[in-house]
Structure 1
């Protein structure tokens, strides 16, 4: 449901006064889309407000620029401006202090989050103690001279190793024979290939 022209004028007047800068009808229409106002309605409201003297306008060719009336705003004196500047500086200083405090607290939070919880420490301690016990048991066995690999397993591994080594030598020899046959009549030095 479209708003009435009175409410459209009130919305437009409020917007122009809030912005307090030169605006054309397109700027106002773009900014007031959320109120479902059409550009023609906004243009009419701007013209009515200008005719009633609630806002002022200037024409630049075909373009109309609308301005909030400046006499409705309180203009502070130089003393009030200086006081506002001092207050602004104090507020800015407080803001900087708060930012520094926030940074310190965030750093402390990150530091605390990087530390392990008591439960995690206990779990890690139990795990490490278990590993230490296993290594100590293995060390005791090694010191007693207990063989961890049985002689049959050792012999089987040695035989497998020698078999693989002989297969490797055969293949190396076969490759060398083929390579020599291919490169026999090459004019270049073989090391440069």
Structure 2
């Protein structure tokens, strides 16, 4: 009796089900054990088809008017693979097209490019005029002004070297009792040396 009920259900629904699905869908008319026995019997007698997906068995009715052969299944697998490959190819083409479109949209328009060119021409002309004025200028500072500037520069240079020496002495004195490296100490105090920032005095 379970055989007929299970077969009728699979034929009527024409969908693949597991043993647990059939048992639940028959609303407890038969136990899971009875349903499993019926499925095994029908499968062995070629009334239904059994497919193994991982560890789970799935059963489906073989409709008399549309019997699926193994060759047909292989054809469907080949079609699925072909369609998947085609989808991947189309996706790659779409991605490339989107990148090209983004590049095109980010480029300046013709009017914008012309405007930028004109602006650059004006700036170049301004620099050329300024260079011409500077190269032909006769404004030369006097010897007294030059001496005063050099004297002030020398004063500031001596003060800079003096303060740098004092700072180095203080840091070295602290490091004698400091448990970490000099680099760690400088980082904790947010101190940057001339060497760290590539600072060099101009001659």
Tell me the TM-score normalized by structure 2: 0.44
**TM-score normalised by structure 1 residue count:** 0.45
